[in-house]
Chain A
Amino acid sequence: MSKRIVKPVLSAREAVAGIAGGATVMIGGFNYGGVPYTLVEALLEQGATNLTLIANDTAYDDVGHGRLVREGRVKKVVASHVGLNKTTQRLFNEGKMELELVPQGTFAERIRAGGFGLGGILTPTGVGTVVEEGKQVLEVQGKRYILELPLRADVALLRAFRADTMGNLTYRGTNRNFNPAMATAADLVIAEVDEILSPGGLDAEDIVTPGILVDILVMKGDSYYASRT
């Protein structure tokens, strides 16, 4: 995609049109907060399958990206917690979907590594548990750490609060969660927002995600959770 200073404001349908089958998609959110519902709904309609979903959790069976799992559109989930979505557990137990469970702090840091140009991170989390199986464990200054590798995606679907036309983003409350990290770690970054202001409309001190990371802006829709979160 060529560089653009002013970011296109598209409909959700237009924004996700190019997501191909088999794509790796990062989706922001924790539980039902900070999920880009309007973009996820558009992706549901768009029909892409065999997706690899990188999200903290798989929401609920009938909420947000949980529906992508329920409709059999996901071949692999990378998440820290899937306990609220019964379909995720069932498909995994039946061997119909891959599931990579990652401790939540490691999940955040692997995404950051993916976006921050790091070859991986060393974390003490999971040492002495099944999490270290098949991974390099390094001893640094007398302490054991697991080498965890970066996560990146083809597309990141984010939920932010206010944007300006240059793609700068602010967040609201606990909707922030993984969204700012994911903004750094995907080839195409699409942000769903409440409001789009002119450049200068956001105080530079309040901007969390600089617009150079964001490719497309979409206004949030009016579905139940999109309008309430």
Chain B
Amino acid sequence: MLPELDEERVRHRIARRIAMEFENGDVVNLGIGIPTLVSDYIPEDVHVIFQTENGVVGAGPKPEKEDLRYIGAGGRCLSVLPGGACIASDLSFGLIRGGHLDATVLGALEADQEANLANWMIPGKMVPGMGGAMDLVTGARRVILATTHTNKKGEPKILRKCRLPLTGKAVVSLIVTEFAVLRFREGKLVLEEIAPEVTLDQVRAATEAEFVVADPLLPMKGIEKEEVVA
């Protein structure tokens, strides 16, 4: 069993760690949920260009005065930063599919050791549709998953093989959970970082997928910046 962490702490921990992944000039699309928080944690010396699939390159934070003609994919108002552009959906997805995005950050229902991702439907239950997710995982150079390590029932989300319908096949580059950072290196899933609250055995028990342990296995970056909650 994994220890239980405060939900907000989990969300922000994952976002903060992912925000360390980018280089100056990277063009990045953030999905809804935890991924949205990533923009709050981009280091000051790194300039990332955020793209929203509904038509902005160079999106900025919510402005003081809201204008409903400028929204992000989740429906929240955004600003267009100086140098930003408003574009149509066909061009926006041309950028996405055409390899012009350095990374996309998405949530996951399931991921597996073959770098497959399932995050768009649960047959018979939830049919929200894939939206832009299938194009994003197909076209972005790196697909970064922001996800809790287990589901609400405590079952592993990182599997040997996804059971739900796939969003993309062999597309995942990096998985960041509240307890671990797992990266695909030459087709193999490698555990690179681990959170202080858990042991390697606990991570193994909560992960169905086979993975290699990096040498050295590092403490999860960014946690030292979390405010200590009494």
Q: Which residues of A contact B53 (CB under 8 A)?
A: 104
Cβ of A201 under 8 Å from chain B:
no
Asked whether A128 lies within 8 Å of B169 as measured between CB atoms, the reply is yes
In the complex, which of the residues A101, A127, A208 contacts B127, with contact meaning CB atoms closer than 8 Å?
A: A101
Indicate if the CB atoms of A180 and B88 lie closer than 8 Å.
yes
Interface digits, B53-96 against A, CB 8 Å rule (1 contact, 0 not)? 11110000000000111111111000010000011111011101
Residues of A within 8 A of B126 (CB): 83, 89
B138 touches A125 (CB 8 A): yes
Q: Does A112 contact B (CB under 8 A)?
A: yes
Report the separation of the CA atoms of residues A173 and B93 in the bound assembly, to the nearest whole angstrom: 17
Query: A126: which of B75, B80, B90, B134 is its contact (CB, 8 Å)?
Result: B134
A207 to B166, CA, bound (A): 40
- Tell which of B55, B71, B135 touches A105, judged by Cβ atoms closer than 8 Å: B135
Question: Which size bracket describes the interface of B in this complex?
Answer: 35 or more
Cβ of B88 and Cβ of A181 under 8 Å apart? yes
Question: Given that A105-B97, A128-B168, A173-B67 are known contacts, is A82 also in contact with B127, CB under 8 Å in the complex?
Answer: yes
Is the pair A174, B130 in contact by a Cβ cutoff of 8 Å?
Answer: no
Interface residues on A, range: 35 or more
Interface residue stretch chosen among A4-12, A29-37, A42-50, A64-72:
A29-37
Q: Which residues 121-165 in A have Cβ within 8 Å of B in the complex?
A: 123-131
Min CB distance A39 to B, Å, is 17
Instruction: Provide the main secondary structure of the chain A interface.
Output: mixed
- Whether A103 touches B169, Cβ cut-off 8 Å, given contacts A31-B71, A108-B89, is no
Task: Enumerate chain B interface residues (CB-CB to A < 8 A).
Answer: 52-56, 67-75, 80, 86-90, 92-94, 96-97, 124, 126-135, 138-139, 165-170
| 10 more CB-based (< 8 A) A-B contacts, given A83-B128, A171-B86, A173-B70 | A80-B129, A83-B131, A103-B130, A108-B92, A125-B135, A125-B139, A128-B169, A130-B166, A208-B88, A225-B68
Task: Please provide the 9 A-B residue pairs with the shortest distance between their CB atoms, ordered closest to farther.
Answer: A83-B128, A105-B93, A128-B169, A105-B135, A81-B131, A173-B69, A81-B129, A103-B134, A104-B132
